[in-house]
Amino acid sequence: MDSSATVLHVDDDPDLLELSELSFERHADDGIETVTASNAEDGLEVLDSRSVDCIVSDSLRLDDDTAFIVAARRRAASIPIIFYTAKEWDAVALDALEAGISEYVRKADDGDVAAVVERASELATRNRTPTIEEETLVEDRPCDTLEEAVDAFPAETADGTWTVIGVHDWQRDEELGTTIAQVMEAHTGVDAMQAEPLFTSLDAEALETLLEPRPGESSRYDIQVRFPYAKWELSVSSDGFIAIRDLPATGDE
């Protein structure tokens, strides 16, 4: 397999695109090249003119109001898409589901760019598309208990600060939102009835629809959704793993 790979980053924030290019330069020795586009139309022109191995995109729309990620998926069925946007999940869930995104990452601060670049580089060099339509090579979760999860599935990696706090079992009747609330209560010590409701951060039902296995199959899909919740950032994967890290402090605190 050719080790070179190209990542397309589409965003209407020129400062963010510049920061992204600088971050991707660190992966130049790994054969990672980045191409940027400042609007949806230019992003499609890139896809029509050259081969791309991964897309990082904000929530941008074409003149006909089609979401860029949806139009990109129609042009490139086998490209991983990282949906990197400041918009809350419930505002973009329909577009994300239609596009079969690989990951949703909520913009919080400039430090997120490094993590997104790391993940985009990984997905691009895999030369594969872990979307909701693709089965993973592993038929079942690698582990069935939280203790095994902590040992065998350290959470995502760019800065090493993630902690796995639970595993959702898709074969049980319990809803994903309930599992998240339970493991958050166990981890933080904050009573779930007193905590900020999960629905203030995202649509838990839409999240479950994106991540759960297809009916009649036990296979999972390599998808991860990250979102801010209260003072933390949560990561929920289609393997059932729930991880947490502190959100960076802001200047207002």
Tell me the mean pLDDT in the region 204-208: 84
Q: 150 pLDDT band (50/70/90 cuts)? A: very low
pLDDT in tens, 26-43: 776 667 888 999 999 999
Query: In the CATH hierarchy, which fold is given to the domain comprising 5-126?
Result: Rossmann fold (3.40.50)
| Residue of higher predicted confidence among 112 and 82 | 82
Average pLDDT, the chain: 76
Q: Tell me what pLDDT residue 159 has.
A: 47
Query: How many alpha carbons fall within 13 Å on the CB side of residue 234?
Result: 26
Instruction: Report the predicted TM-score, pTM, of the whole model to 2 decimal places.
Output: 0.56
Distance between CA atoms of residues 225 and 237, nearest Å: 6
Indicate whether 108 pLDDT > 80: no
Question: What is the DSSP track for 212-226?
Answer: SPPTT-------EEE
**Cβ–Cβ under 8 Å, residues 120 and 33:** no
What the block records as the tokens of 201 is: 């951060």
The residue type found at 130 is P
Angle formed at CA 102 by CA 101 and CA 107, multiple of 5 degrees: 85
Residue ranges matching CATH 3.40.50.2300 in the chain:
5-126
Q: Among 16-25, 136-145, 162-171, name the one with the lowest average pLDDT.
A: 136-145
Decide: 165 and 154 in contact? Cβ < 8 Å: no
